[in-house]
């Protein structure tokens, strides 16, 4: 790849243009239902198990950290509240995002990249079919839906993992843990987390599709595209996460 | 009836590298044209520019009176339905079997029932000799079969214009002969405009109405087959005879002095060869079973006259 001062700017512009194209194309009929279901199933199947396996230790680590902290402060009754808050607000959207980008996004990028270098995408365009409409939109929607569902999964598994470690391993009291659940966290935290997951899913799929559709230079090009798509997605996700969190705290009144 | 493609002052470059500049030609409706050129002269790029996959720097491509280079995305997709393109490797969809690949354009663009689709797909598969391989995946078949399947897919929507990107690369000579016959038969049957991009001289001598030659970043010549086959232009003669002596070198081009020398040495031999009259290869005609439209009738008449005259001369 040739480095040029305007290169980064041009790529960001093209990426953004494609995101707009996707948004503009979403309402266009006929909706590719078959592709959407296949992709949703595919993304779900590659992400569910790793997500569950990652979220158990994640919940555990939070429980351990908070458990010892609250014991030092003599606020054991709050350990449940703090751990739910941490899992629900931050851990679950981030874990979801990492997994969607790392497992789903790479698969999408590699798939589209391979099609691009085999001239399948060109053939499709020549056959009068818009790849954005036929391939990208179903993937973006599928990844958004799966991200929202995964976020729910991560929250449940994370909280359950936290409960297990706090109550069984650190001898916390189950009653206190459960009773303090809603002292800090509130329902709007869950909604905010779901919205985050929705946005992260869209970003991961759009970046992956963009990188896949612009892959060039043979099989190595596809490898590079996958690599770049993961890096770019992660950077975008963390920035977006920060912005959305900041906005959330301004908009929604907090408890306590 | 085919559609005319009119190319005017087309220029394309990638970065600072000019691929070709100021290419102007008209592909007459319903005729077969061949675009020749040494490897790496941007023949495939030219093809992709014609269908609007690549945007040229300057110039226009008029298809049925509409300038492809200035169309909006949505209109471009409409115009592209006139085209059937055979890509170099067939460009089949790797996740679908051959039947679904060939049925794909029909399912996307028409409201035909599955039984109608089945009839059309099997007819086209029969045409390219692929009956019995419907369930195979593109990864499981040979390059030649992929190419033929790609051709069948390009044909299902009854295109007005068919573009072939090196149909003969990677095929054995017998299959190339069959493919050439198939191209000629198709032209007689569906009357579409054909453009074949290739560097196979034998095909270029037998098949087309018109020949063009791309070299040194420009269109050296484009015209009727007879004009190019009998041309004295050194580049054209070198390429059509497939020999080393001439302006085309291994890497790119040679220096002028060396070319002069080589051509002078060749001169005598060349004149002798010309006298024998092997410039004009007989033209490939549609198979006997196919009803010839008036255009092909005329061509056949002209061919037989030419050969009668040649026989008389000898």
Question: What confidence tens digit (pLDDT) does each residue in B169-194 have?
Answer: 777 888 888 888 888 988 888 888 99
CB contact under 8 A, A126 and B85: yes
What's the gap in Å between the CA of A100 and the closest CA on chain B?
23
- Per CB-CB distance under 8 Å, the chain B contacts of A120 are 91-94
**What's the pLDDT score for residue B271?**
57
**What's the pLDDT score for residue B34?**
92
More confident residue, B54 or A185: B54
Averaged confidence pLDDT in chain B? 84
Chain B contacts to A (CB-CB under 8 A): 48, 51, 53, 73, 77-78, 80-81, 83, 85, 87-89, 91-94, 104-105, 108-109, 150, 153, 157
- Per CB-CB distance under 8 Å, the chain B contacts of A124 are 93
**What's the pLDDT score for residue B276?**
45
Q: Which residue among B83, B94, B108 places its CB closest to the CB of A126?
A: B83
Check if A123 contacts B (Cβ < 8 Å). yes
**pTM of the complete model:** 0.81
Q: What is the mean pLDDT of residues B109-114?
A: 88
Check if A130 contacts B (Cβ < 8 Å). yes
**What's the pLDDT score for residue B273?**
54
**What's the pLDDT score for residue A223?**
93
**What's the pLDDT score for residue B117?**
93
Cα–Cα dist A124/A213, whole Å: 12
Q: What is the mean pLDDT of residues A211-238?
A: 91
CB contact under 8 A, B93 and A115: yes
**pLDDT above 90 coverage of chain A, percent:** 41
CB contact under 8 A, B94 and A129: no
**What's the pLDDT score for residue A15?**
92
- Quickly state the pLDDT bin for B296 (edges 50, 70, 90): confident
pLDDT in tens, B66-97: 888 888 888 888 888 888 899 888 889 988 89
More confident residue, A144 or A5: A144
**pLDDT above 70 coverage of chain A, percent:** 98
Q: What is the mean pLDDT of residues A64-72?
A: 83
């Amino acid at each position: 790849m040739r480095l040029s001062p305007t290169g980064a700017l041009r790529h960001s512009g093209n990426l953004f243009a494609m995101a707009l194209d996707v948004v503009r194309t979403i309402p266009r009929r006929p909706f590719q239902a078959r592709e959407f279901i296949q992709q949703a199933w595919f993304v779900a199947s590659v992400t569910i198990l790793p997500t569950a396996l990652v979220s158990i230790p994640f919940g555990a680590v939070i429980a351990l950290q908070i458990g010892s902290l609250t014991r030092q402060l003599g606020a054991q009754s709050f350990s449940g509240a703090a751990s739910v808050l941490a899992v629900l607000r931050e851990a679950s959207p981030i874990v979801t995002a990492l997994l969607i980008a790392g497992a789903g996004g790479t698969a999408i990028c590699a798939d589209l990249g391979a099609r691009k270098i085999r001239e399948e995408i060109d053939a499709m365009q020549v056959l009068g079919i818009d790849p954005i409409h036929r391939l990208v939109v179903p993937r973006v929607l599928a990844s958004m839906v799966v991200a929202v569902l995964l976020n729910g999964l991560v929250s449940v598994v994370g909280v359950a993992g936290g409960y297990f470690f706090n109550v069984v391993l650190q001898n916390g009291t189950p009653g206190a843990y459960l009773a303090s659940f809603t002292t800090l966290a509130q329902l709007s935290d869950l909604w905010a987390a779901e919205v985050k997951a929705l946005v992260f899913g869209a970003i991961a799929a759009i970046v992956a599709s963009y990188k896949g559709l612009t892959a060039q230079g043979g099989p190595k090009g596809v490898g590079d595209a996958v690599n770049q798509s993961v890096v770019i997605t992660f950077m975008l996700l963390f920035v977006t996460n920060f912005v959305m969190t900041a906005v959330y705290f301004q908009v929604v009144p907090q408890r306590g | 009836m085919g559609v005319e493609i009119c190319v005017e002052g087309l220029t394309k470059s990638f970065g600072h590298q000019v691929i070709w500049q100021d290419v102007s030609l008209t592909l007459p409706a319903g005729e077969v044209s061949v675009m020749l050129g040494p490897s790496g002269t941007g023949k495939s790029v030219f093809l992709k520019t014609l269908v609007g996959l690549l945007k040229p720097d300057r110039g226009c491509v008029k298809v049925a009176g509409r300038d492809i280079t200035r169309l909006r995305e949505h209109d471009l997709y409409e115009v592209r339905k006139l085209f059937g393109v055979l890509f170099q490797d067939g460009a089949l969809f790797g996740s679908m079997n051959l039947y679904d690949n060939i049925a794909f354009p029909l399912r996307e663009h028409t409201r035909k029932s599955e039984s109608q689709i089945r009839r059309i797909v099997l007819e086209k598969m029969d045409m390219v000799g692929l009956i019995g391989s419907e369930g195979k995946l593109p990864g499981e078949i040979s390059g030649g079969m992929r190419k033929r399947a790609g051709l069948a897919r390009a044909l299902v929507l009854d295109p007005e214009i068919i573009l072939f990107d090196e149909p003969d690369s990677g095929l054995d000579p017998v299959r190339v002969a069959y493919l050439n016959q198939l191209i000629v038969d198709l032209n007689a049957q569906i009357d579409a405009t054909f453009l074949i991009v290739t560097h196979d001289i034998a095909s270029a001598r037998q098949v087309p109405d018109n020949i063009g030659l791309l070299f040194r970043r420009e269109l050296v010549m484009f015209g009727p087959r007879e004009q190019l086959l009998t041309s004295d232009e050194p580049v054209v003669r070198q390429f059509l005879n497939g020999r080393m002596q001439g302006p085309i070198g291994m890497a790119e081009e040679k220096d002028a002095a060396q070319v002069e020398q080589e051509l002078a040495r060749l001169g005598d031999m060349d004149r002798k060869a010309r006298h024998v009259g092997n410039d004009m290869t007989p033209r490939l005609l549609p198979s006997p079973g196919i009803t010839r439209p008036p255009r092909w009738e005329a061509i056949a008449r002209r061919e037989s006259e030419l050969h009668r005259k040649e026989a008389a001369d000898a």
